[in-house]
Amino acid sequence: MTKPTVLFVCVHNAGRSQMAAGYLQALAGDRVEVLSAGSQPADQINPVAVEAMREEGIDIAGEQPKVLTTESVQASDVVITMGCGDECPYFPGKRYEDWKLDDPAGQGIEAVRPIRDDIRARVEALIASLGA
């Protein structure tokens, strides 16, 4: 079986999708191809998201928000959206999930930790469902 490609999408690609991508990369390693993007990418990753992930031993500080492209959706087997709604292009045959998560933008570390922990649990379930 070829390794599955998972695309995480949120509006700014600065918090939730970056944390999810960081977890999937760390927990699944090279068994899964990991992509992330935003419908309206921010200039930089949310520093509180970086701090929250650093507490878990995962460094996402070197990542950059990327713009969502039709090509990235087409290249993915699983597309996970996080609050970007209808801005994500739809292609038949892909697995889509919408994760309802609070936006960490503008929040302090105490508010971001539970979001991070929710993302980790969802990523662990995703890995199990992919057989990765």
Using DSSP's 3-state secondary structure scheme, residue 105 falls into coil
CB 25 within 8 A of CB 132: no
**Does 84 qualify as catalytic in the annotation?**
yes
Q: Which of 97-102's residues contact partners 24+ apart within 8 Å by CB, and which partners?
A: 97/126, 99/16, 99/20, 101/16
**Does 120 qualify as catalytic in the annotation?**
no
| Nearest-10 crossing angle of helices 16-28, 47-54 | 30
CB 19 within 8 A of CB 53: yes
Residue of 7, 9, 10, 58 with catalytic role: 10
Residue of 49, 88, 101, 112 with catalytic role: 88
**Does 116 qualify as catalytic in the annotation?**
no
Q: Which residues, 6+ apart, have CB-to-CB distance to 86 below 8 Å? A: none
Residue of 53, 79, 84, 112 with catalytic role: 84
Q: Which residues are catalytic?
A: 10, 84, 88
